[in-house]
């Protein structure tokens, strides 16, 4: 399933209350302050950490492929009294009117691009939107299979209207040849005697380090550094345009 189609409807509505991880804005604030403005967050979703960065007065815009998630971002920005500029575009077909000193993804959203061809197109878009001397920050990870005892387990939250929100793993398939892991997720909303259920496949495509560096080089990007996050599985690639 296309990521733009995954984060729609009930999934977009339940994303915020049910998400298991919130991105710490500090590393991205430091990144923008180091490189300078303007900055661009790819895959900004419903506004974390974009809104926090804007609250600090940083000149950063967002882009996402999901209309529903951007609607949530705009609604949250209005509720919080924060001005924000967001663009509805796919990462692999960026066509924005500006170039940016800092381009980043907050977390491994790049892993949602389903194959190397689309990943290469996204990297080329990043290269085309970097200002001279600009840098891109791309976190990547290799997913671990979901433990068997976690299949079927339900994570819950309570909505403002009292409805029970639920997400669970129904099944999972993994291909080391294609470097993909497809997890079938079930989203549910239960309240006022009504029940809405949607099953959606969540596809993660991972990269080997040599493979990603080769894609970056093909896209006209040079790997400046690779930082492993202590205690985590993320590798943060800093990329610059090739001379």
pLDDT in tens, 73-88: 999 999 999 999 999 9
Whole-angstrom Cα distance, residue 174 to residue 194?
Answer: 34
CATH superfamily of 3-142+207-241: Vaccinia Virus protein VP39 (3.40.50.150)
Q: Is the pLDDT of residue 53 over 70?
A: yes
User: Which of 14, 1, 32, 181 minimizes the C-alpha distance to 108?
Assistant: 181
Q: Which residue has the tokens 């710490």?
A: 24
Give the closest residue to 202 by CA, choosing from 235, 168, 241: 168
Least confident span in 14-18, 83-87, 127-131, 151-155:
14-18
Give 133's contacts (C-beta < 8 A, 6+ positions apart): 101, 240
What is the model's pTM?
0.94
- Residue 87's SS3 state is strand
pLDDT tens-place string over residues 170-209: 999 999 999 999 999 999 999 888 999 999 999 999 999 9
Q: What is the DSSP letter of 7?
A: S
DSSP-based three-state secondary structure for 36: coil
């Amino acid at each position: 399933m296309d990521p733009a189609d995954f984060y729609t409807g009930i999934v977009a509505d339940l994303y915020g209350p049910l998400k298991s991880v919130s991105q710490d804005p500090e590393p991205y604030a430091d990144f923008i302050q180091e490189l300078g403005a303007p900055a661009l967050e790819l895959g900004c979703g419903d506004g974390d950490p974009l809104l926090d960065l804007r609250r600090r007065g940083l000149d950063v815009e967002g882009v996402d492929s999901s209309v529903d998630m951007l609607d949530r971002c705009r609604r949250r920005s209005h509720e919080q009294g924060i001005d924000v500029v967001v663009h509805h575009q796919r990462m692999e077909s960026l066509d924005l009117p500006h170039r940016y000193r800092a381009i980043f993804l907050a977390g491994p959203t790049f892993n949602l691009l389903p194959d190397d061809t689309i990943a290469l197109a996204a990297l080329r878009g990043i290269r085309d939107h970097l200002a001279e001397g600009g840098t891109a920050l791309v976190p990547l990870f290799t997913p671990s299979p979901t433990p068997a005892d976690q299949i079927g387990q339900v994570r819950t939250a309570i909505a403002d209207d009292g409805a029970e929100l639920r997400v669970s793993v129904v099944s999972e398939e993994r291909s080391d040849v294609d470097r993909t892991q497809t997890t079938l997720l079930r989203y549910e909303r239960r309240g006022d005697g009504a029940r809405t259920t949607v099953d959606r496949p969540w596809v993660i495509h991972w990269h080997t380090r040599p493979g990603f560096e080769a894609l970056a080089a093909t896209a006209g990007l040079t790997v400046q550094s690779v930082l492993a996050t202590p205690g985590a599985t993320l590798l943060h690639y800093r990329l610059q345009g090739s001379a």
